């Protein structure tokens, strides 16, 4: 066991910060007077941590959770590029059972932290849209894979950069994403062409929208089609973010500032 202790000592030796992912109050309290400084990464700051990074999505992948937390630490000034970070997280148990070490900056800076924290739209609205897209990606429509495009935030400008493809069933309604009944409606309407437009506060402004911003200069991976190109273009030209469910490969992708900042497999989420 001495060898195991030495191995763990090597993992955490000389780290610049410790990141605790969703710690219990007792675990956080045990680090109260510890050096180096501790940063809590969790959906809520339930332990009243001085240094805190909000985790608005419950990433199932530990790698994605750590990447999000490290990006948040960099953006919030808790870390500097090149800092060594000891990360303690829950993987198999209901409390922290895994310790790893990463270097801030070793991850490609995806922009996923800014997607939630710096977007005009309420983070909960973006999360709710993700949940609709993920659920639709898992179940499809009548067992068949479908595609969908949700544009979230800056709705006025998005509407001015698009045109209707058909009657807008949400024109005179005041329904919001996140309502279970409304989410069922969204899944049903997703089988038809066009994008959904959602306001910063989650109101569904429209469906069946054809997005018209010019696609020149938008760079997306090969194999992705018009839906992803439109998502890239509209988020480049407005302050919206876009969530796309791909009909071809079944993945859910988020766009911000004209670029893909997050990619999830619904079957693994």
Whether residues 12 and 68 share a domain: the answer is yes
pLDDT score for 35: 85
- Note whether 108 and 129 are same-domain residues: no
Mean pLDDT of 185-207: 88
225 in the same domain as 127: yes
Shared-domain flag, residues 16 and 137: no
232 and 157 within one domain: yes
What CA–CA distance (Å, rounded) separates 115 from 42? 16
- pLDDT for residue 216: 78
pLDDT in tens, 79-102: 999 999 999 998 887 788 899 999
Choose the final residue of a domain: 113, 132, 154: 113
More confident residue, 43 or 93: 43
CA 235 → CA 30, 153, 196, distances in Å?
44, 10, 14
Count the domains in the chain: 2
Question: Domain check: are 140 and 105 in the same one?
Answer: no
- Given 113, 147, 172, the domain boundary residue is 113
Q: What is the pLDDT of residues 207-245, one digit of tens each?
A: 999 999 887 778 888 888 889 999 999 999 999 999 999
The confidence score (pLDDT) of residue 1 equals 53
Give the pLDDT band (50/70/90) at residue 78: very high
* Average pLDDT across the chain, whole number: 87
* Same domain? 134 vs 228: yes
Of all residues in the chain, the percent with pLDDT exceeding 90 is: 47
**153 close to 200: Cβ distance less than 8 angstroms:** yes
Q: Span 180-191, mean pLDDT?
A: 81
Residues 184 and 259 in one domain: yes
Per-residue pLDDT of 118-164, as tens digits, reads 889 998 899 889 888 988 888 776 667 788 999 999 999 999 999 99
pLDDT(107) > 90: no
Residue 232 has what pLDDT?
94
User: Is residue 123 domain-shared with residue 103, that is, in the same domain?
Assistant: no
Indicate the DSSP class of residue 266. Answer: G
- Judge if 135 and 19 occupy the same domain: no
CA 126/CA 129 separation, integer angstroms: 5
pLDDT at 217: 76
What pLDDT shows up at residue 269?
65
Of the three residues 92, 113, 134, the one that is the final residue of a domain is 113
Q: Are residues 82 and 169 in the same domain?
A: no
Distance CA 27, CA 75 (A): 25
CATH number at residue 100: 3.40.1380.20
Range of the domain at 23: 2-113
Predicted local confidence at residue 16, as pLDDT: 93
């Amino acid at each position: 066991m001495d060898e195991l202790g030495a191995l763990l000592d090597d993992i955490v030796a000389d780290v610049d910060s410790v990141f605790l992912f969703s710690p219990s109050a007792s675990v956080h309290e045990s680090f109260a007077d510890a050096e180096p400084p501790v940063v809590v990464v969790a959906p809520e700051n339930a332990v009243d941590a001085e240094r805190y990074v909000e985790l608005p999505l419950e990433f199932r992948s530990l790698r994605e959770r750590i990447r999000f937390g490290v990006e948040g630490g960099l953006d919030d000034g808790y870390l500097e590029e090149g800092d060594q970070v000891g990360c303690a997280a829950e993987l198999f148990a209901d409390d922290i059972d895994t310790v790893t070490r990463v270097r801030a900056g070793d991850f490609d800076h995806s922009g996923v932290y800014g997607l939630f924290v710096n977007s005009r739209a309420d983070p909960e609205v973006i999360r709710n849209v993700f949940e609709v897209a993920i659920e639709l990606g898992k179940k499809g429509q009548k067992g068949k894979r479908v595609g969908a495009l949700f544009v979230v935030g800056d709705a006025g400008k998005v509407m001015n950069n698009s045109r209707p493809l058909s009657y807008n069933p949400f024109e005179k309604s005041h329904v919001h994403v996140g309502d279970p009944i409304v989410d069922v409606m969204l899944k049903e309407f997703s089988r038809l062409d066009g994008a959904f437009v959602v306001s910063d506060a989650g109101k569904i402004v429209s469906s069946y929208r054809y997005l018209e911003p010019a696609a020149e200069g938008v760079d997306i991976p090969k194999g992705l089609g018009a839906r992803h190109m439109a998502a890239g273009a509209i988020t480049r030209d407005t302050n919206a973010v876009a969530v796309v469910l791909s009909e071809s490969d079944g993945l859910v992708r988020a766009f911000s500032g004209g670029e893909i900042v997050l990619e999830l497999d619904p079957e693994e989420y």
